[in-house]
Structure 1
Amino acid sequence: MTVKTMREALNDALFQEMRRDPGVIVIGEDVSGGAGGSSGSRDAAGGIFGVTKGLMGEFGDKRVIDTPISESAIIGLANGAALAGMRPVAELMFADFVGVAMDQIYNQMAKFRYMFGGKAKAPIVVRMSMGAGMNAAAQHSQTIYSMLSAVPGLKVVVPSNPADAKGMLAAAIRDDDPVIFLEHKALYSSKGEVPDGEYVAPLHGASLVQSGKDATVVALGRMVSFAGKAAAKLAADGITIDLIDLRSTSPIDEEMILESLSLTGRLVVVDESNPICSIASEIAAIAAEKGFASLRAPVARVTAPHTPVPFARELERMYVPGPDRIEAAIRKAVKGE
């Protein structure tokens, strides 16, 4: 295995799947680097985050398609291409702008297979950057997986590390249903070991990052590493946790969560999104409905406040659920402190 950034791992997956299947196309704003870079040639950057760099040079502009700044056009094109037998990977530069294309997503692609009685499929991947912590202000920093997970017919995944980013993106491209693929902006430069060559990871199912006896901590995306930092501090005091990386918010791996809860008796959910109608709320409901007999303490939710993401760096640091808040929530669940 090779150590790579999440950005490089995602790029690997796109190259892998486009080489494997000529029906895979990439659609979005500046995905081929725009009309020209400093060198005077296309493919100067490969999108604002560099994930699609190099694709244009190998696959050409028939398969790496720059679009106008129109999310509805991007998703509308992806919908039509999928119904025509292709496997589009549509990039929306920021998840915050998904509202512009919501009809095409929740009222069209999510319902194609159902409304056509299984005679049509929608093998579409919608890649979006998300998340706070990069000083990008309220309209470019939201985590919207809760809203999209509420739509029947959509699969929603949130990788937390480079290996999952590569493997899950490959799996998403091969899937016959629409997949919302959410990438935290603060993780693009994070590094980890990534399998070389062709690699496909399970699209669904949580991952047990570490084992412990005192509490079950469920996190996703950037929050997985923050929860890991909190766990390291707690271990010095003899408190150990099961840390579960949710990986997918639709479907949710209820089985792993409930199995862990039956062993630890305490549940802390760490979710960067706002608290109302959140993934944290959903997991708390699952625990209350199906794991109540196992609970030895109230379910704790560590989330952002119910406010827009602040622009000021000091306020944004307070907004994001950090390791200290997670540590305090776990300590309270375990010891009542």
Structure 2
Amino acid sequence: MKQMNLLQAINSALDLAMAQDERVLCFGEDVGAFGGVFRATSQLQQKYGQQRCFNTPLTEQGIIGFANGLAAQGQLPVAEIQFADYIFPAFDQIVNETAKYRYRSGNQFNVGGLTIRSPYGGGIHGGLYHSQSPEAYFTHTPGLKVVVPRNPEQAKGLLLAAIRDPDPVLFFEPKKLYRAAVGPVPEEDYMHPLGQAEVLREGQDITLVAWGAQVQTIEQAADQAAELGISCEVIDLRSLLPWDQETLARSLRKTGRMVINHEAPRTSGFGAELVASLQENCFYSLEAPIRRVTGWDTPFPLALEKEYFPNALRTLDAIQACLDD
């Protein structure tokens, strides 16, 4: 085990994947000698050469179009979109090409070897164009997988699994945690399963669900609730598409109450899908309506970033309100 921050864990995963399979290529804006804007690909070009780790033009649509072509030819491209806010110029390539390539060819061709990495979310005072959480747009797209890690150990295991998965994966990295999250990470190769949530804490009174950086928030809220005698079950969703309905439903049937926390705006956020699906399947186990604690339905504000975040206090308020229902 070695202490790593989230960036170092991402770099370690890429290094291992490139060392073990020469088909793995890393590319994007400034990812070569510069190592990317956050240095996630630092030293990879020096180690594996310019043919396997290289810069692209500043064109997100071109990056993903090129990645689709490589994946269709059997390569394992790991394409970086420098900020998730700028993934939208590539939306057509991801939604209409990446996600549908296998289906439209009748399984004769696929781009399943493609992994798209992108820093996402707020927490670095990036303002409205460098702080968005666009995961819900892509969870509406059959043919993709969407993954968000919560800490360095998870990031490495999930990224290695994503690179080796037979389906195209969108891997969103909470930039708020890049250097703030530090923990022990195995130096050797390992993988965490995609599509499987993780129960981090057992509880009896209420279930708290989040992904990415917001997992820390619900853990803080659970600690505060414990001081009030409230027992919280804490779940990291990890994979949003596909998401682990069985684990969440089992927990909800046990506690009868749930709070879902996510950083993206409330309206049509992925929490709404969780609520709808779980209430369809667990209605008779509910003791209260499922509550959501989310970002606001506004552009991400620079000056009011702290007020925008669905923090532990807002989560604790939701927990108490749910228990009072």
Query: Structure 1-normalised TM-score?
Result: 0.94
The one of 287, 290, 307 aligned to 1:296: 287
Q: Deviations over 1:186-240 (max 9, x none)?
A: 0111112212211111122000011111101110111100110111111111111
Deviating beyond 2 angstroms after TM superposition, the runs of 4 or more aligned structure 1 residues are none
Output the CA distance in 2 between the equivalents of 1:327 and 1:191: 25
| Structure 2 equivalent of residue 63 of structure 1 | 52
Unpaired stretches in structure 1, ≥5 consecutive residues: 33-42
| Structure 1 equivalent of residue 209 of structure 2 | 218
| Structure 2 equivalent of residue 178 of structure 1 | 168
Structure 1 residue 9 and structure 2 residue 3: aligned? no
The one of 92, 98, 102 aligned to 1:109: 98
CA shift at 1:319, angstroms? 0.7
Q: Deviations over 1:273-330 (max 9, x none)?
A: 1111111101110121001011001110001111110011xx1111110111011111
Letter in 2 for 1:26: C
Secondary structure of 1:317's partner? helix
| Structure 2 equivalent of residue 91 of structure 1 | 80
Give the total of aligned pairs.
323
CA shift at 1:62, angstroms? 0.2
Letter in 1 for 2:174: H
| Structure 2 equivalent of residue 272 of structure 1 | 263
CA shift at 1:334, angstroms? 1.7
Q: Deviations over 1:3-54 (max 9, x none)?
A: 210101000000000001000001101101xxxxxxxxxx2x4111111001
Output the CA distance in 2 between the equivalents of 1:287 and 1:248: 16
Q: Deviations over 1:49-96 (max 9, x none)?
A: 111001011100000020111101111110110011100000000111
| Structure 2 equivalent of residue 208 of structure 1 | 199
Letter in 2 for 1:141: S
Structure 1 residue 152 and structure 2 residue 142: aligned? yes
Output the CA distance in 1 between the equivalents of 2:175 and 2:210: 17
Q: Matches of residues 125-136 of structure 1 in structure 2 within 5 Å?
A: 125-136=115-126
Query: Structure 2-normalised TM-score?
Result: 0.98
Structure 1 residue 330 and structure 2 residue 323: aligned? no
| Structure 2 equivalent of residue 198 of structure 1 | 189
Output the CA distance in 2 between the equivalents of 1:267 and 1:286: 13
